[in-house]
Amino acid sequence: PAQIIAIDEQLNILADGSIVLPKGLDTDLAYLDGSGSPAQTEESLRALGQYLGLNATRPDNEHGTGPDALWVADGQPVLCLEVKTGKDASSRYQKKEVGQLSDHVQWVKDHIGDTTIIPVFVGPVMPATDTSNPPSDFLVVGLEQFKQLGDRLKAALTDAVENALPTTLRDTLMTTFSKRDLIWPDCMNSMEKYTLRDLSVVRN
């Protein structure tokens, strides 16, 4: 799969045949623990998508419009992330924020084309305000879920480089990533996620 090829191309093979992890792996994913600024968190989410072998970008940072982070894989669902980790846990997702994510979904449609889009607020698990009307597919996922995904990814990469030869690296990556449920988009299945509309119905 293209995902495995992209991961393989990020690993380094030394002259002696040993395989090493990307130097920036730990640093790039560091702010998935919630300790960073919004911009640092967005970059760690982008990097997580990259290390997962996806085409991961930050459209809002790069173009001044679009999602905070975007994960794209040919022929697979696209992950459209709006980062709200700075929200107070006692507040709600505001009508303007729901509209903002809707705008990002349209941006993805305009720039990526006809594809399945997974729109996600990354932030506290809370409902929307009474005046909001979130679409049925808007999800809320806590940042800690991406942290857990990152930890699984690092463990899988470590296993792969320790057990593979340069000639078997892609096969080993495929086996390891399948075993740890890291193939996109199946890796989303193990994450705790909530539908914003359902959260709002329960709260209201």
pLDDT digits (tens, 9 = 90+) for 30-50: 999 999 999 999 999 999 999
Q: What is the CA radius of gyration of the chain?
A: 18
Provide the CA 30 distance to its chain's centre, in angstroms. Answer: 14
Strand partners, 117: 78
Per-residue confidence band for 181, with pLDDT thresholds at 50, 70 and 90: very high
What Å distances lie between residue 165 and 11, 13, 161, 172, 178, CA to CA?
12, 9, 8, 9, 18
Q: Cα(41)–Cα(161) distance, rounded to whole angstroms?
A: 27
* pLDDT, tens only, 117-154: 999 999 999 999 999 999 999 999 999 999 999 999 99
Task: Give residue 204's pLDDT.
Answer: 46
Task: Give residue 12's pLDDT.
Answer: 94
| H-assigned helices in the chain | 2-8, 25-28, 38-51, 59-63, 95-112, 143-163, 169-179, 196-203
Task: Give residue 202's pLDDT.
Answer: 54
Q: Do 83 and 97 meet the contact criterion of CB atoms below 8 Å apart?
A: no
**What number of other Cβ atoms are within 10 A of residue 110's Cβ?**
9
* pLDDT, tens only, 64-106: 999 999 999 999 999 999 999 999 878 999 999 999 999 999 9
Which H or E run includes 69?
A: strand 69-72
- Of 186, 195, 187, the residue nearest 151 (C-alpha): 187
Q: Cα(80)–Cα(190) distance, rounded to whole angstroms?
A: 18
* pLDDT over threshold 50, residue 158: yes
Q: How many domains does the chain have?
A: 1
* Amino acid letter for position 27: T
- Of 72, 86, 82, the residue nearest 35 (C-alpha): 86
Distance spanning both ends of the chain, measured CA to CA: 44
Domain range for 52 is 2-203
